Amino acid sequence: MKCVIRIGSVGIADAPGENRCQAALAGAMYLGGHWEHIFDIGGTTIRAQHSERLRNGDYWLDFPADRLWVFNRSC
């Protein structure tokens, strides 16, 4: 199964919930106006934008169902 979501649609939450995965913060870059954070989920890299720099640690990433495309097979 493959999933696609725009980087600006990935949310950062403070607790588990529907369509959320726990991820470790692996790095951050300031891109002028916002921070782009790089997370690791079991060897998979996920990027998310946020207005502030996050501290090192684990976070819950939120993948809104209306912004997530899921493919059941390879294209």
Q: Which CATH architecture has domain 2-70?
A: Beta Barrel (2.40)
pLDDT tens digit string along 15-61?
Answer: 999 999 999 999 999 999 999 999 999 999 999 999 999 999 999 99
Please list the residues that pair with 36 across neighbouring strands.
Answer: 29, 49
Structural domain boundaries in the chain: 2-70
Confidence (pLDDT) at 63: 94
Distance CA 39, CA 27 (A): 7
pTM of the model: 0.83
